[in-house]
Amino acid sequence: MGSEGEVGARSTTLVVSLAAGGRIDKALADAVPDLSRARIQALIAEGRVSLGGRPVGDGKSKAQAGDYRLDIPPPEPADPQAEAIPLTILFEDEHLIVIDKPAGLAMHPAPGSETGTVVNALLHHCGDSLSGVGGVARPGIVHRLDKDTSGVVVAAKSDAAHQGLSALFARHDIERVYMAFTRGAPSPIRGTIEGAIARSTHDRKKMALVKSGGRHAVTHYTVARTFGPVERPLAARVACRLETGRTHQIRVHLASRGTPCLGDPVYGSGAPAGPVRAAIAEAGLTRQALHAAVLGFVHPVTGQALRFESALPPDLSRLETLLEAL
């Protein structure tokens, strides 16, 4: 598979090369990660996907080998409104912006949090320069951090950067390291957690490991230090390196080992030991103890190697200090 595109004044045209076999909508969504399958299906329904000059009639049909043309209309006027929300900017040029996101700030508007998001802040800071490839509700957004996960995140300001960054994420050609504080410590001290992740059939707000279906997910981890008795740690600081980037991936994978992120309201089943609970309360931790500490990639337009680090925010730094006393 491959894709190339050209951006016109009124619309974006992508040409995607597909091999024969597999559903057209799924194959196109896999080839163009910043377009969801639902959006691909909508484009097909609107007659905006063609092969050999003829519109594709049904996204469920099997793909024929060839170059598929996707005519993506310009985004509608963005529903999100610009808001003067302070941003900690680590890097910015005409193509992209890298910020250090605080916990409690959602990435984009969604039911229940239509304002006060990264998108609202970026619309204020960047104006009309944000990429519109991702659709009206998420201008510039290439990847996401959970609302209550802090740390480094990149957003696209140009369509070229958006498409280039999306390709890097799709190829897993991005360095992403997260720091997690866990209940107990994963064993062994260094390893890989691998397992497909899908929406939970019991709770639609949760993700879960599944034996069939789902999306392949891989997390490499290293226990950086433990707290409490060496033979049976009460908590640990764990460095997690993402090979893939699925929704809630680290939280689901760590919980699957019986070592969920401290403070995680969704996956943190089972209370930590009393001294750890006391440390959480004294630190004022009211969210999952997870921080995106490192983001590294090659600039998709200039070719410059970029790497950004973010120190632990005050709540996690204080938590670590208190855990060290155990």
Just list the catalytic residues. Answer: 146
CB 312 within 8 A of CB 291: yes
Q: Which among 158, 164, 85, 65 is positioned nearest to 125, based on CA atoms?
A: 85
> How distant is the alpha carbon of residue 183 from its chain centre?
24
Q: Which among 234, 189, 197, 190 is positioned nearest to 214, based on CA atoms?
A: 197
CB 233 within 8 A of CB 256: no
CB 251 within 8 A of CB 217: no
Our separate counts of H helices and E strands in the chain read 7, 16
Phi, then psi, of 251 in degrees rounded to 5: -60, -40
Distance CA 183, CA 163 (A): 38
Distance CA 189, CA 301 (A): 38
**What does each C-alpha distance from 91 to 27, 95, 103, 140, 141 come to in angstroms?**
34, 11, 19, 15, 16
Distance CA 154, CA 10 (A): 26
